[in-house]
Amino acid sequence: MAFQKDGGIQKVLQDIFLQIQHGQWITILGHNGSGKSTLAKVLTGIVEPSYGVVNRDLHGPVQMVFQNPDAQIVGETVSEDILFGLENYNFPLDQCQERVAKALQQVGLSGYEQVPVGILSGGQKQLLCLASAIAVDPHVIILDEATSMLDPASRQRIRAVMKEWHSLGKTIVWLTQDMEEVVLGQVVVVLSEGRLAYQGTPRQFFYAPLSNQMSACRMLNFKPPFVVEVVEYLRKDGLAMAVEDLPIKPEELSKVVTRR
């Protein structure tokens, strides 16, 4: 993937080979400028690669939620914004209001149908964007740092909605720089300067096979979440566990600490 800049060609993505399985939750991690957003747009078809092949074997719509909600809201009221997407997908009119109500209920905005978009908070706007995405019943939802500008309550709401959506067999592609969000997925992919720098499970990403080795997380200059930092300390203090058993979530850590 490349674009023209100052009379020359600058590559944005290169040497990317990535397979996303139906029903998978994949986290794409990378620092600013790593190519995450460009990759997301390629996956959705918003941007086509200048070379290479993208095979989209899909069973339904693909929806994307951007970092800045104002970049994708088009309706004057909450209901109008969701209806815009439904009408573009040619849903029957007799289904639309039901879909609007259901989507708003899922994101916690029931009763907001006629509220002007301009008076919503930033978190509510992002929840509206998510409601607009799920209203069309997409098979794939791509979230491009969709929680980075939100308060903790709105962030937790979006995570909860996506966990529920994933449990229904939907594919989630979650782009982030937040280490706490890496543990949500089944696979983590790291981009660095437009290249694929790592691909594996979150647990493998956070932990090296031996306690005296450096993890992929630290080798790629990321700061691990608090849970992992605690376990790193415990490993140096003599904790012996196979990598596949090492905790990455608070509830897993509490069991390890209790046993000790």
**Is 129 found in the same domain as 17?**
yes
Whether 203 is covered by a domain: the verdict is no
CATH code: domain of residue 174: 3.40.50.300
* 133 and 56 within one domain: yes
Domain limits at 81? 2-197
C-alpha–C-alpha distance, residues 217 and 11, integer Å: 25
- 4: pLDDT strictly greater than 80: no
- 18 lies in the same domain as 51: yes
| Total domains in the fold of the chain | 2
Instruction: Compute the distance between CA of residue 60 and CA of residue 138 in angstroms, rounded to an integer.
Output: 6
- 23 domain residue, yes or no: yes
Residues 123 and 57 in one domain: yes
Residue 123: other Cβ atoms inside 10 A: 19
Rounded CA separation 110/108 (Å): 6
185 plus 215 within the same structural domain: no
Let me know: does 247 contact 227? Beta carbons within 8 Å.
yes
The CB density around residue 245, as the number of other CB atoms within 10 Å, is 10
Q: What is the pLDDT of residues 195-248, one digit of tens each?
A: 999 999 999 999 998 888 899 999 999 999 999 999 998 888 887 888 888 999
pLDDT at 256: 75
How many other β-carbons are positioned within 10 Å of the β-carbon of residue 152?
A: 9
pLDDT tens digits for range 52-67: 788 877 777 899 999 8
Same domain, 186 and 66: yes
